[in-house]
Amino acid sequence: MLFHVLGARYIYSYVPYDEWFERLAGFDLTQAFRLRRNHYDRFVHFMFGLLIPRVVREAQVRYFDVPKQASRFFAIEFVLAFSMLYELFEWGLTMILSPSDAGAYNGEQGDIWDAHKDMTCAAIGAIIWYVLSLLKSGRERMPASNSR
């Protein structure tokens, strides 16, 4: 939620992450990777995909008695579905607002594939979470070695 609060404060397209990164690391992230736009919105989508599945999985297991293995799958499906619904909301808003206001709101910044890339970032975050959760569960099931 803090990433969203920060994005709402500055409007996602104008979050000054380059200035912050330059103060911390000493170089301009946008110039280093030759980026053409502010990618803070993509970062937030990625973090949504990475951080939300655990919360969704815990709620499923704890409150709805969903088996742990199935809950992993449903957590990823939640991320994908929610990302799609959010992008549809943004699209609907662009149909209501004037084109100049809509572009400033949803942060597409001239990229007609923005919604697709945003959903992909969320999916990549969710897949990374899935792999990490599988690795963690595998370590938890391993028997402790007998060291003498």
- Mean of the pLDDT values across residues 40-48? 93
State the pTM of this model.
0.83
Please give the Cα distance from 57 to 22 (Å, whole number).
36
Give me 115's structure tokens.
């919604």
4 pLDDT band (50/70/90 cuts)? confident
* Structural contact between residues 129 and 53, judged by C-beta atoms closer than 8 angstroms: yes
Any idea what DSSP says for residue 13?
G
Please give the Cα distance from 109 to 71 (Å, whole number).
36
- The contacts of residue 57 (CB under 8 Å, 6+ apart) are 68, 71, 72, 74, 75, 133
